[in-house]
Amino acid sequence: MRTTESIAIDLGGERINFPLEILEKYNQPGPRYTSYPTAPEWRDDFGEAEWLAAIEETRTSTAPLSLYAHLPFCQSLCLFCGCNVIISKKHEEVSAPYLARLKQEITRMSERINPARQVQQLHWGGGTPTYLSAAQIEELFNHLAAHFNFAPDAEIGIEIEPRTTSEEQCRTLRRLGFNRLSLGVQDFDPLVQKTVNRVQPYEMTKAIFDTCRELGFSSINVDLIYGLPHQTVESFSRTVDKILTLSPDRIALFSYAHVPWLKKQQGSFANHLPMGFEKFSIFRRAIEQLTEAGYRYIGMDHFARPEDELCRAQDDRTLTRNFQGYTTKAGCDLYAFGVSSISSLENVYAQNWRDLPQYYEAVDAGRLPVMRGMRVTAEDKLRRAVINRILCHGTLPKAEIEREFGIVFDEYFAADLARLAELERDQLVRLNPDSIEVTTLGRIFMRNVAMAFDARLNREELVRQRVFSRTL
Ligand code: SF4
């Protein structure tokens, strides 16, 4: 029920008021811009030949590398989950054949990459990467270390599932050199947990968190989701309070993406979802709690302690984004391994097969298991740079883009600036003669600001196509 015509929110000490219509107007389907062009633009006629040609172009490159390994297995399905997962309790029986293919893919790719290139970042995501046993974790890590040249200060991270990760696995990870962890939490409320089939009490999470702190992981992130079934402002606020007692280095506060036409299991709780103003109020309370506790709102779901390198990179404009979110490792080519994983080079995106049988078939036949991809155009690169800088820094000096791309900003982006005029009237951006600034209010609607520069977005078709989740 609407209780007010205007909404107030405190964001890092600044109190802003905005009309309720703004929330309704901008909470529309839109991309998250982990890539530009976004995944729906990638083409099925981009296959192994195109991917091999793109890799060949980087043969003499010395640019640093970012590597990603996708481990798709989970023991049980969390009903809100939008990831590409395979549910199985058979562990060794399913993970051993997968690991064998993953290692083959890594070997094959490493043969095509200049061995002098240093790996600055490695991330294991899923699914549940710790579905692998401690011995399998070691086997996969040693395989990567044998085939790539890791920088001594490489950022080596993994997603941890507190319900199924053992102390032995944590010790193994630390011994191997993993220095970053991301813990999935989502919500501590018992009713929410039961409804989404993810029962994970605070005490269990705290135990694994404390173990990891004692082991000396240098950065621990926690993932939360707002907008889950049965969540209320009060219940989620209690979750955030509990998280604050753990004092993680970073917090990701994701909006629950309700896409039951893609993920059927989400339909089971569709009648219990907080919607519209109610969902926004949950987000608002959380954002206020986190910023009051000293975390900085980096933008697009992410918060970090002021001393964290994400904040430093944001201050000196070196922050960038990749498929894992915000990162300080700009200029890396990202090579990804495993089913459904996405590689990103300067000129190309390539995604592996999403289904295990097709992935296995391609690897077993000695091929790179690419399913689709895209070669980006010069215009895509320009727009990607603009969107990236808006999402990372909130301020876009036009001269920065003009210098880099040899354009006259106001001429090139005349249509985009015209689109932004409406966002300026709604106080989401300030259009200065030499820069575009996202306002504090606009930082809540970052995706909408970025969408103004998306030349490939079919704005009229957005709602009907049902490809993207809502922006809040
Ligand atoms: S453990 Fe993570 S990846 Fe697996 S089903 Fe749950 S949310 Fe999805």
Tell me the CATH number at 407: 1.10.10.920
In angstroms, the CA 277 to CA 265 distance is 24
Question: Which residues does 175 contact at the CB level (< 8 Å), separation at least 6?
Answer: none
Going by pLDDT thresholds of 50, 70 and 90, the confidence category of residue 150 is very high
The HSE-up count of residue 81 (CA atoms within 13 Å, CB side) is 20
- Of 282, 315, 337, which residue sits at a domain end? 337
Residue whose CA lies nearest to ligand 1 atom number 8 = 81
Tell me the CATH number at 324: 3.80.30.20
Share of the chain above pLDDT 90, in %: 82
* In 39-152, alpha helices (H): 48-57, 92-110, 134-147
Number of domains in the chain: 2
By the 10 Å C-beta count (0-12 exposed, 13-18 middle, 19+ buried), 424 is classed as: middle
Pair 43, 160 in one domain: yes
Ligand 1, residue 161: give the atom nearest the CA. 1
Q: What is the whole-number distance in angstroms between the Cα of residue 78 and the centre of ligand 1? A: 5
Q: List, for residues 376-420, the tens digit of each pLDDT value.
A: 999 999 999 999 999 999 999 999 999 999 999 999 999 999 999
- Of 278, 305, 337, which residue sits at a domain end? 337
pLDDT in the model for residue 467: 60
235 compared with 440, residue with greater pLDDT = 235
Pair 48, 150 in one domain: yes
Ligand 1, residue 80: give the atom nearest the CA. 7
Q: List, for residues 28-73, the tens digit of each pLDDT value.
A: 888 889 999 999 999 999 999 999 999 999 988 999 999 999 999 9
Candidate from 77, 262, 265 with most ligand 1 atoms within 8 A of CB, to mutate: 77
Pair 50, 160 in one domain: yes
Question: Three-state SS across 293-340?
Answer: CCCEEEECCEEECCCCHHHHHHHCCCCEEECCEEECCCCCEEEEECCC
Pair 221, 333 in one domain: yes
Residue whose CA lies nearest to ligand 1 atom number 3 = 127
Q: Quick check: is 427 in a domain?
A: yes
C-beta of 183 in contact with ligand 1 (< 6 A): no
Q: List, for residues 227-278, the tens digit of each pLDDT value.
A: 999 999 999 999 999 999 999 999 999 999 998 988 999 999 999 999 988 9
Q: Quick check: is 220 in a domain?
A: yes
**Above 70 in pLDDT, residue 2?**
no
Pair 50, 169 in one domain: yes
- Amino acid letter, 161: E
Q: What is the whole-number distance in angstroms between the Cα of residue 256 and the centre of ligand 1? A: 13
Pair 403, 319 in one domain: no
**Above 90 in pLDDT, residue 343?**
yes
Q: Quick check: is 397 in a domain?
A: yes
Candidate from 73, 89, 130, 161 with most ligand 1 atoms within 8 A of CB, to mutate: 161
Partnered with residue 335 across adjacent β-strands are 67
Question: Three-state SS across 122-166?
Answer: EEEEECCHHHCCHHHHHHHHHHHHHHCEEEEEEEEEEEECCCCCC
Pair 159, 46 in one domain: yes
Q: Which helix (H) or strand (E) holds 463?
A: helix 462-465
Pair 392, 320 in one domain: no
CB 80 within 8 A of CB 192: no
Q: What is the whole-number distance in angstroms between the Cα of residue 136 and the centre of ligand 1? A: 20
The two structure tokens encoding residue 228: 């889950």
Q: What is the whole-number distance in angstroms between the Cα of residue 194 and the centre of ligand 1? A: 14
Residue-range definition of the domain harbouring residue 291 = 39-337
Q: Quick check: is 365 in a domain?
A: no
In angstroms, the CA 33 to CA 454 distance is 10
Q: What is the whole-number distance in angstroms between the Cα of residue 449 and the centre of ligand 1? A: 30
| Cα angle 183, 392, 322; round to 5 | 55
Q: Quick check: is 133 in a domain?
A: yes
What's the mean pLDDT when you consider all of the chain?
Answer: 93
C-beta of 78 in contact with ligand 1 (< 6 A): yes
In angstroms, the CA 398 to CA 406 distance is 11
C-beta of 161 in contact with ligand 1 (< 6 A): yes
Share of the chain above pLDDT 70, in %: 96
End-to-end CA distance of the chain: 18
Pair 383, 301 in one domain: no
SS3 content of the chain, % helix, strand, coil (to 5): 40, 25, 35
Q: What is the whole-number distance in angstroms between the Cα of residue 83 and the centre of ligand 1? A: 7
- Amino acid letter, 181: L
CB 299 within 8 A of CB 308: no
The two structure tokens encoding residue 116: 């002098």
Pair 116, 216 in one domain: yes
pLDDT in the model for residue 1: 43
The two structure tokens encoding residue 76: 């049980």
- Of 312, 337, 362, which residue sits at a domain end? 337
CB 297 within 8 A of CB 287: yes
**Above 60 in pLDDT, residue 90?**
yes
**Above 70 in pLDDT, residue 468?**
no
Pair 434, 307 in one domain: no
Q: Quick check: is 248 in a domain?
A: yes
Scan for tokens 């998280």, then name that residue.
Answer: 243
Pair 96, 44 in one domain: yes
Q: Quick check: is 4 in a domain?
A: no
Of 5-9, 119-123, 130-134, the range with the lowest mean pLDDT is 5-9
In angstroms, the CA 116 to CA 108 distance is 16
Q: What is the whole-number distance in angstroms between the Cα of residue 170 and the centre of ligand 1? A: 19
Taking phi over 0 as left and psi of -120 to 50 as alpha, with beta for the rest, 391 belongs to: alpha
Q: Quick check: is 179 in a domain?
A: yes
